[in-house]
Each structure stands twice: as C-alpha cells, then as structure tokens.
A and B are shown apart, each in its own frame.
Chain A
C-alpha cells in the first residue's frame, strides 16, 4: 500500500460568505507528482496555504507525513513551497536570499546553495539583487528557495508563470529530476494544462471549491483518447460489424457503447454502415484528446449536473 504523504479530509474554508472550499478530500502518496487543476478562484492556492498553515484550518483535518495539522511543525520542515508569487528580500542578492533560507533551515553546506542555484539555472545571476531579476528569474529563485532544504514534499503554485518556453522545459526537467532522483513528492498547480500533463502522474480537478474528480495519468490517457463513442442497442453485433470492416482499435466500456480510438473517421459513412447491418445507433459523439479538452468537458458536465440539481 502506498505511503500517504498528505491526507486532506473533508476540509472546508469560508472567507466571509464566500465558500472557498467545500468538504474537499484527497490524498497524495509518496512519489506522486500531483497536478491540481481548476479555474481562478477554484481553491487551489487555498488548499496549498492550508497545508503550509499560512491559512488557519477551521473545518476538516489535514495530516502531513502522518502528523495532524495542529502539531505538524516537524512535518513542515520536510516541506518546501512556493505559493503565489515567489517572495525574496529585494535588496539582497540571489545567493544572500538563499543563505537566509539555509540559516532558517539549519543548513551549513555552502555547496547546497551553489547546487540549488545551478539546479534552477541562475548561476550567472547569483550576485544580482532580487529586485533586478526578471519575472522568470524571480520564479527560478523562488524554486531554488523551495528546493534548497531538499524537501521530501514540494508544493508549487503556478511555478511556470512568467517563464519563457526554454524555462518551462527546464523546470519540467527539474521537476522530473527531483521526483526521480530525490524521490520528492510534488503538489503542483498550473494554468498551462499541456505542461501539467507532461509532468504530473495524478490529477485532481477542483471547481468552485469542490473536489470534482481524481484520475491517474493512465486513467486520464484512457479517458481522454481522441476517438468516437457510439451508443448502440447491440454492442456485440456492432463490434462484429466494425471488426469485419477493419475499423480498429475499439473498446467496449459498457453494454451500450463502443469507443473507436480513431477520430478521423467519416461519421456519415460509419453510421450508414452500422444501420445497414441492423444496428440501431442511438448516439454518436467525437471525443477530443488533450487535457484542456478533457478539463473543459469535465467542467461542462459538472456545471450541467449542478444546474439539474
């Protein structure tokens, strides 16, 4: 059984009359790169602030490394975070800001600071004051500060904001390295879903403060594969027709639908083929492939469900 690093149980949070989180529960296991997905104001940052105790917990429970939120000061020492914009002392240089973090965490090694600077690609800027760094460089500094104490759990809120394409690729490699070489468990949010898809191993979808769905990357890949879903009266007969016409591959998710893993078929010809072979076609829909489209469809379904309720 995988070891739980974070356990978020029935957590609710209100700001005045605004319900920021509504009974949210999820778990992050050791080794996960957990992508938190949601619109602006969905509650992603609130979740991260609650975990790091920057926001007081009123309802529900959070446990980190097995310690409950009221007593997890020690667990926080194993956690690194960059929440909202990266915070650094503007009048101090990159290396001085990192020395402060090292002293706060009781780190003695100068090499660890150089490694962190090197890790995020800021070596050329190590003597530059934070106020003179570009947005992307400040983002890298924030990341260096978060990874410097070699945390077992890393929380990153929009870490690729403001980065150029090369920077985004570097950060992706960096997260991969942290996860694979240092076994760092990562919770990450980003608006750039195509990027998030490339790094995360598990995804949690949050909408208007409610936790909608959690899928692993494998499940997501299955669900988001581009193709055509057919709603039919007789699945075995339809499968036979598709097979004999060499329309492959396809899968049968339930007893009234078939999913053809090809999106470029002529749907008119396909429906004609099925009808001519005595299959009653109750519905036909095209499914798109990207995480963005999956997210959009999921939110649409959720909103439709909310309206029905």
Chain B
C-alpha cells in the first residue's frame, strides 16, 4: 500500500491539474479574505455571525470563520483531485497495471482513500494558511491570541478535510458500483446541496449529522463543543466503514 501511495504521490506532482487546484484554493482563500465576502452552502447559518462578518472589519479569527463558512465551495475545486487520484485509474484503465502489481483490492481502495485524505488535508491547510498570510499582509488584527487562532485553524482544517474525505469516500463507492467518473462527480456536486435542501425543506433533523459543512461552521463559530462532537465522528466513522467495505465488495465482484 505504501508503494501505491508513493506512486500516486509521484503521479500527482507530475500533473498540472494538481498545481492548478492548489492555485485555485489559494486564490479563492485570498479573494474571500480580501473582499470579506462569505459564500457557500449553508442550511442553518448563524444569522448573527453572518451579520457580524458582513459588517465588521475582519480580524484574522473572523477570516478563519468566514473561510470555514465558505469551505463547501472547495468541494467543487477539490473534485479535480478525486478525478486525478482514482477517476483516471478507471477512465484510462490503468487499474489493470495497479492490480496486477500484486496489491490487494482492499489495499487499493484504502490507498486511494488515504491519498485523497492527505491531498485534501494539504489543500485545506494551504486554504487556512492563505487566510492568515493574506490578513497579515492587509495588516488585520489577530482578534484573539495566536494560540487560540492556531488551535481554531488546526481544528477546522482537520474537520473540513475529514468531512470532505467522507463525501469522497461515498463517491468512491459510487465509482466502484457504476464505473462512471461522471456519475460519481455529479454526486460530489449534488451532495452538499441536497443535504442542505432536505435539511431545511423536509426538516429531517437526523440529517444534522451528515450536514458536514454545517458541522464545520459550528466548529469554527465555537458553537459545537468537543463533547458534542461524538455523534458526528460516529456518523462519519460508520459512513467510512460502510463505503470502504462496500467498495471492496464491489471491486472484488467486478469484471475489470
């Protein structure tokens, strides 16, 4: 599996698409920080926070919060990584080389998920680092202590990256079931919108735990304490195990 991760890392760093994704992430982050325009898919955004962000001079911690609320849009940028890391294997049929190299199906699926998680983590880290750097360039105040700022930025980075990776793990399962990069990409586009719409319109409260961007917003606002975090982690864990498990079953039964 380590060999596969090394091969994927090598491939990523040779593709323009990877660097283009990084540039888009940096550009998007810098733009929001400079213009103080918060945007994204939000089902139950805190009106007070939105009002505050819209009408106050942003401190760096405001920037972190604003960027977290805008993170759902990143899904559409990071979707390119999904296509590069696993989509290409199926659209260009290179999975044949990969699987013949002796890697097990389980290792193949797991390696792809881990690679996605790592690259998303790198991108989200850069996303939040860009806020801090841009804010410092614009001479903005910290708004809190450096310790608290870095802690908030770290927690939101890990939370957002993990939540996006869960959506991508469902997309991996869809890819295994349909062999279609297009269908799995459409799922990535639709998922956050659908969850937000059902959450609001159908008033299905249980969707709270799969409304990942709503959860990361709450983390950034400090309205979701670590003790309330359990159900979200459990839901994500269950989804991840189910997706990896069924993806494995699907690929084992698949005529490749």
Contacts and interface: CB of A to CB of B under 8 A. Distances in A.
A101 B92 contact: no
Given A49-B256, A53-B99, A79-B100, A103 B94 contact: no
Interface string A90-105: 1110001001110111
B94 A88 contact: yes
Interface string B88-117: 100011111111111110000000000000
A53 B88 CA distance: 20
Contact of B94 (A49, A53, A87): A87
Interface residues of A, number: 33
A272 interface: no
A104 to B, nearest CB: 4
Interface stretch (B10-18, B73-81, B126-134, B202-210): B10-18
B4 interface: yes
A158 to B, nearest CB: 14
B255 interface: yes
Interface in B36-60: none
B15 A91 contact: yes
Interface string B1-31: 0011011001100111000000000000000
A100 B5 CA distance: 10
A92 B99 contact: no
Determine chain A's interface SS by DSSP, over half rule. loop
Interface string B222-256: 00000000000000000000000000000011111
A76 B100 contact: yes
Interface of B: 3-4, 6-7, 10-11, 14-16, 88, 92-104, 252-256
Interface of A: 15, 49, 52-56, 73-74, 76-77, 79-81, 83-85, 87-92, 96, 99-101, 103-106, 145, 149
30 contacts: A49-B256, A52-B96, A52-B99, A52-B100, A54-B96, A54-B99, A54-B100, A56-B253, A73-B102, A73-B103, A76-B100, A76-B102, A77-B102, A80-B100, A87-B93, A87-B97, A89-B88, A89-B92, A89-B94, A90-B92, A91-B15, A92-B14, A96-B10, A96-B14, A100-B7, A100-B11, A103-B3, A103-B7, A104-B3, A145-B97
